[in-house]
Chain A
């Protein structure tokens, strides 16, 4: 049998180059198709990765613990009914990359000139330094020192809107645990930058202890968060947090996919998009592929007849055509993959797309697009082409193998 396979492969290869113009044109089409599949996928994946990274940075915490009503009613009265020290002890006992507890409440911030509404975060700066959306290296002034820091850190945009700066005072008003207005003056110790300007507008940070005092919640927080190693799959971290808080009635545990449906949907929709894109490109290619094969078979009817007459089995004829098609596809894929790699290489550090930055911010994206060439997507693109290409070749190949040798040999050119 190996003799038959060998001769089929040999014939397939030689036949491929018999009409080199046609083969080169088809190779061009397949290469461009494969390039487009992989290149666009890398860009899109890069976009989604960036989006999710930015999105998750403002929602720091892949798995979050809240009091049951907090998400509907983000009010300080809905604090987690477990003392903060106890929560910290539990999280510290777990095997997490990063974790933190914090207070997260809506507030109003007033400068000498302006009033704005903000989200007030009372944090433990030591714990959050590892994953905060605040770009620590470009901060004006300083970041918070510790949980008892009496200063406040706000975003650059907010500082502009409030016409204030480092060293000046602002007043924070929020609601305390007794439903009374709690207010307190803060000195701005730092003004931060973030990848998305909307963050700079929305988040003001103070020390956790200071926040607890302001809001009168004693040793309590509104949320506890845990960071996972890979944001794509945080099920292990989630399970561990669930076990740490097992038996607590008034506490809910969510992962980011539940907390931000938009990001989670985008992530899963992306996989669907990649598949659809690859299949569409393949379909556009398949017309040319089938066309080429039908023509190739058509031109060779007579010699196929001779091979059948000489005793070649129809199956061997079928394989010969299929192998020819697979060789064509494989060559095109190799070129396409190399092209894609070559075109991703010079932009692997990202391309500046700030020209449409306001629009991208609507999508939750920053100004840089770093292509994300993933083995899984490359394999998917190549796999789809090979599998569907195989299926598309079967019909012309099957027809070729079922010629009647007598009619085939006597066919007039």
Chain B
């Protein structure tokens, strides 16, 4: 089954007096349960593609389908709902809500989905255990290291079992040890829950672990490698 299908996506930004083609006729299919890495130098279009897939940004032309549903035509409210129920996000850094504890950050999405408190509590405890943060649920982001914060972000992304997790440079602010651990966590979750992962990065370490590596340059897909051994 196809988790993500992009057809002929185009997106142009104006920067100063220059037009920048962030996406230039991009088409890809991502199978359900895949572990995909989008890699490109800065400004290569990987974040734009990720945002288009996540319904955060609308392409100028082309189509985006998530699990057989076309999403580039949805309105803002429907997109918000799509993100809330079917997609998990992990951003570069500072993506936790500072006034909420780790557990509350994890429960935040479930709370908006209307999950009952007891179930929320149980799920969040379980996922904290799973990402290796058992007992740290009461801490606020400021009281945790960068690596721990990213684990919380991952836990929040997957706790309501979305079909798709999108991560944008998740290791950019981490050292190599923490980066490695985060990737391990991604892979484990991918295998255990069958969640599709799409990660935009230019971190070699992450690319190495991708089952499918898509390289982009100037808004175009220039290379695709399947690394089934990864």
Contacts and interface: CB of A to CB of B under 8 A. Distances in A.
Contacts of B112: 3-4, 7, 310-312, 316
B130 interface: no
B192 interface: no
A297 B31 CA distance: 40
Nearest to A405: B56
Given A3-B115, A311-B109, A14 B99 contact: yes
A389 B82 CA distance: 34
Given A310-B83, A313-B80, A406-B56, A6 B111 contact: yes
Interface stretch (A67-75, A255-263, A299-307, A331-339): A299-307
B16 interface: no
Contacts of A264: none
A134 interface: no
A312 B112 CA distance: 7
B84 A311 contact: yes
Contacts of A405: 56
A49 to B, nearest CB: 48
A5 to B, nearest CB: 10
Contact of A310 (B84, B98, B115): B84
Contacts of A252: none
B80 A409 contact: no
A3 B114 contact: yes
B179 to A, nearest CB: 20
A312 B76 CA distance: 11
Nearest to A14: B99
A2 B115 CA distance: 10
Contacts of B84: 310-312
A7 to B, nearest CB: 5
Contacts of A302: 94
Interface in B63-121: 76-77, 80-85, 87, 89, 91, 94-100, 104, 108-109, 111-115
* Interface hub of A6, A14, A306, A316 (most chain B Cβ within 10 A): A306
Nearest to A17: B99
B199 to A, nearest CB: 16
Nearest to B51: A406
B54 interface: yes
A interface, over-half SS: helix
Question: What is the interface residue range for chain B against chain A?
Answer: 20 to 34
A11 B77 contact: no
A15 B99 contact: yes
A298 to B, nearest CB: 15
Contacts of B85: 311
B13 to A, nearest CB: 11
Contacts of B97: 11, 303, 306-307
B224 interface: no
Contact of B111 (A3, A15, A409): A3
Interface string A174-211: 00000000000000000000000000000000000000
Contacts, number: 71
Contacts of A14: 99-100
B60 interface: no
A351 to B, nearest CB: 47
A307 B98 CA distance: 12
B81 A406 contact: no
A311 B83 CA distance: 5
B113 A3 contact: yes
Contact of A18 (B80, B96, B99, B114): B99
Contacts of B76: 314
Interface string A252-277: 00000000000000000000000000
B115 A313 contact: no
Contacts of B181: none
Interface in A1-41: 1-4, 6-7, 10-11, 14-15, 18
A309 B83 contact: yes
Interface in B45-59: 51, 54, 56-57
B49 to A, nearest CB: 12
Contacts of A11: 97, 99-100
Contact of B95 (A7, A314, A409): A409
B95 A306 contact: yes
A308 interface: yes
Nearest to B140: A14
A24 to B, nearest CB: 17
A314 B81 CA distance: 11
Nearest to B107: A7
A306 B91 CA distance: 8
B217 to A, nearest CB: 21
A313 B84 CA distance: 9
A6 B89 CA distance: 22
15 contacts: A1-B114, A3-B114, A3-B115, A18-B98, A303-B94, A306-B89, A309-B54, A310-B112, A311-B80, A311-B112, A314-B80, A316-B112, A405-B56, A406-B56, A406-B57
Interface of A: 1-4, 6-7, 10-11, 14-15, 18, 302-303, 306-314, 316, 405-406, 409
Given A306-B91, A309-B54, 18 more contacts: A3-B115, A7-B111, A10-B104, A11-B97, A11-B99, A18-B99, A302-B94, A303-B94, A306-B94, A306-B96, A308-B80, A310-B112, A310-B156, A311-B82, A311-B83, A311-B87, A316-B112, A406-B51
